[in-house]
Structure 1
Amino acid sequence: MGETSSNKTFNVGVIGYGMSASTFHIPFITSTPSLKLYSILQRKPSDSSSAPRDYPHLKHHTSLESFLADPELDVVVVTTPPETHFAFAQQALQAGKHVFVEKPFVPSSAQADELIKLADEKKRSICVYQNRRWDSDFLTVRKLVTDGLLGRIVEFETHFDRYRAEKPTNWKGSLKMDQGGSALYDLGTHLVDQVYTLFGMPQGVFAKLVSQRDGLCLGPENPDLEPDSVNLQLFYADALIVHVRIGVMSVETKQPRFWIRGTKGSYHKTGLDPQEPQIKSGMKINDAEFGKEGPEWNGSLTTVGQDGKITEESCPNVKPETYSKIYELFAHALQGRCDVPVPASQAKDVLRILEAARESAKTKREVELS
């Protein structure tokens, strides 16, 4: 990374002005003391969506060339659909900017490698927005696992299930896997990244990628299927088996989230982290209730004592760090105070797991990972 200062404030420019920018990035950029929201690139402002109208005091651009040519711009945040990530990140790095990229990072691990090498050459940082590392339920799981309260983990089940009978009309319903689309790259990136954060690279992957809406499976008979649902098994050296499940035909009032079994206990949780719906409902990210769930969403912790007695108790989430934390750590990394919170090398590993899942689904066999 180039010259840094522990006191420097970095000018941040955002590419794109859709839901990702307005919900997941701009509120956190503007609340991070050493970051300054400086410019926005929106190619076609409209009556319904206009960055110049909403932020008249910023610099605004409709072309990438003028946006990147600004010598005062330090950091580029890429919030556009995933098929654009590689080209935007590459050009930003070539222009000497640090880069923060929405997930999925890029559509392939080969492209990730290219960007990692370019960032090294340019002495610039890349961070990937794997914000769900800062979901409160995941932080709770991480504490339970690292503290050893559940013992050695033997089975780990993670879900992102919903009832979505209709296909999305945005890029999530149109992009192919080769472009970073489908449920595997959209939601699967989140779940696999969380598993990777806990356990590292698996030894093997077995996958079924399906369209629950159409009743079809990816495989030799349907080689071009774009899955809306995912069932992965990840295998680890100590006999740990991880199940990663995504579905769009789950009719539940409380959707499953985690089910973890260890040699000393189990943990069960329903419901998704509330930060996204809270922001969409208008809650401010500095609100005291931001990131908190009601007690009705507490997990269930079951442990076995030294006397062999099994006890079940309510397990509330740990205190929320919220998605503010990834921006705080990224800013600290730019100042040279810590490492990038989600380096591109880790995002590349997650892409390798997703690519193994695609191969497994097509060949109907387990794929080994070195």
Structure 2
Amino acid sequence: MATGKYNVGIIGYGLSAKTFHIPFINAVPEFNFYAVVQRSPKPDDDAEKDHPGIKSYRSVDDLIKDDQVHVVIVTTAPESHLPLAKQALQAKKHVVVEKPFTPTSAEAQELVDLAKAQGVLLTVYQNRRWDSDFLTLKKYIDDGSLGRIVEFETHFDRHRPEPPADNWKAYHAPGTGAVYDLGTHLMDQVVHLFGLPKRITGFVGSQRAVNKTGLEDSATVLLHYDDQLLVTVKAGVVSPEVDQLRYWVRGEKGSFKKFHLDPQEDQLRKEGMKPGDKNYGIEPESHHGTLSISQDGKITSRVVPTIEPPTYVEYYRRLAQALGGDASKIPVPPEEAVSVIRLVELARESSTSGRTLSV
């Protein structure tokens, strides 16, 4: 490429594109936000006005036909991920797919196989691998501070008992529901740390008293590992807490307990911050976690700072390196994303059958 940049085309111009992709693409010099597919621009929602100089297409076909597009990002509803990613891969475009990857693991594997056959890169946007609290916890696991881990709890709980907003996310469709929406974030982090479990027990359903659509709004998934490790993945909507639990991890040598979510999403959505802004991605001291250490029969606890994160920019930094030829830098190997969708399927099956299933 004469410009030395990878031209990026985004399918969809909703929250995902505006908040979780475009700011980070613009923060990495190897990428150029080149084009978007926006079917129906409005006076107050027009990609061309928001980003002068980009191409705004009305159809995916037109974007795919543009040979100046090198990377395609799919940010549409989950049930469209397979056909849109497949179309882009068949045109030998590199592809980033929003999470959840696809509604089924068979569809996900089909895309992985196609990308390999076409000789192009495929990855999934599991951006929470670069949450500051997750990286802090990972540091204490990796350096042995906690010893052998026996229990790992990861939560994404909220108190929203009222009926959900009337939008597409509230209705049954392939790839929707709490275990796909939030569960894939949480389970991706677990698989990234520990690999696949041996068995799985799922409880998937609704905690709301009024739920006209019947779409599952909550999930608790137990992941059983051979070395006595039990992982609890939990996303609920009835949790009246001032401070929501995020992690509680216990090992032979120590434990780590943390409340509050990583701040990046709120900073992007509610505060209008961008990557590179002062304090972007930095947690306040009041949100820091507690590290407890057992030594010589005595347990001591201290509040430990959350590390300064590379932020979600790191996803696109690594993507640029992978596109440049360093395959080890692919931000999320698609095979791992296939495994996460398989765990979702098994969690739902376990919940329906009332049985613990082998993975």
Task: Give the TM-score taking structure 1 as reference length.
Answer: 0.93
User: Hey, what's the Cα distance between the residues in 1 that align with 2:141 and 2:49?
Assistant: 47
Residue matched to 2:200: 205
Aligned to 1:313: 302
1:330-369 correspondence to structure 2 within 5 Å: 330-339=319-328, 340-369=330-359
Q: Does the alignment pair 1:254 with 2:243?
A: yes
SS in 1 for 2:204: strand
Deviation at 1:53, TM superposition (A): 1.5
- 2:285 equivalent in structure 1: 295
Give the corresponding residue for 1:130: 126
SS, match of residue 338 in structure 2: helix
> In structure 1, what residue type is equivalent to 2:164?
K
SS state of the match for residue 13, structure 2?
Answer: coil
> How many angstroms apart in 2 are the aligned matches of 1:43 and 1:204?
43
The one-letter code sitting in structure 2 at the alignment partner of 1:314 is: V
Residues 329 and 338 of structure 1 are in contact (CA less than 8 Å); yes or no, is this contact kept in structure 2?
no
Matched letter for residue 212 of structure 1: Q
Measure, in 2, the Cα distance between the counterparts of 1:33 and 1:227.
Answer: 41
CA distance in 1 between partners of 2:165 and 2:347 (Å): 23
Cα distance per residue 1:187-212 (max 9 Å; x no partner) = 00000000101110000000111200
Letter of the 2:289 partner, please give it: G
Listed one character per residue, the Cα deviations across residues 86-110 of structure 1 (whole Å, up to 9, x for unaligned) are 1110000011100011000111100
2:65 is the counterpart of 1:76: no
Q: Give the stretch that moved more between structures: 22-31 or 330-339.
A: 330-339
| Alpha-carbon contact 2:254-2:291 (below 8 Å) kept | yes
CA distance in 2 between counterparts of 1:337 and 1:356 reads: 33
Q: Is the 8 A contact 1:39 1:58 kept in 2?
A: yes
Structure 1 Cα separation of the partners of residues 166 and 128 of structure 2 = 24
**Deviation above 6 Å: which 4+ runs of structure 1?**
none
Q: Indicate the SS of the match to 2:301.
A: strand
RMSD in angstroms over aligned alpha carbons? Answer: 1.6
Once the 2 structures are TM-superposed, how far is the Cα of residue 272 of structure 1 from its aligned partner? 0.3
Counterpart residue number, 1:190? 185
Instruction: Tell me what 2:92 maps to.
Output: 96
Distance in 2 (alpha carbons) for counterparts of 1:168 and 1:232: 25
What CA distance in whole angstroms lies between the structure 1 residues aligned with 2:265 and 2:168? 19
Distance 2:127 2:272 in 1: 19
Is 1:167 paired with 2:164? yes
Amino acid at match of 2:291: L
Structure 1 counterpart SS, 2:182 = helix
1:311-333 alpha-carbon deviations (Å, 9 max, x no partner)? 10001111111000011001110
**1:170-195, CA deviations, whole angstroms, 9 ceiling, x for partnerless residues?**
3321243xx11000100000000001
Report the Cα distance in structure 1 between the residues aligned to 2:172 and 2:45, rounded to whole angstroms: 22
Partner of 2:10: 14
Taking the aligned partners of 2:300 and 2:97, their CA distance within structure 1 comes to 44
- Number of aligned residues: 355
Q: What amino acid sits opposite 1:276 in the alignment?
A: E
Paired residue for 2:265?
Answer: 276
Decide which of 218, 225, 236 is 1:229's aligned counterpart: 218
Percent identity of paired positions between Structure 1 and Structure 2? 48
Q: State the SS of the aligned residue for 2:164.
A: coil
* Residues 134-143 or 207-216, more deviating: 207-216
Q: Once the 2 structures are TM-superposed, how far is the Cα of residue 129 of structure 1 from its aligned partner?
A: 0.2
Distance 2:30 2:63 in 1: 21
Output the CA distance in 2 between the equivalents of 1:144 and 1:175: 39
Q: Deviations over 1:273-316 (max 9, x none)?
A: 000110121112101301111101110111011x2221100011
Contact in 2 for aligned 1:172/1:186 (Cα 8 Å): no
CA contact (8 A) 2:218 2:235 kept: yes
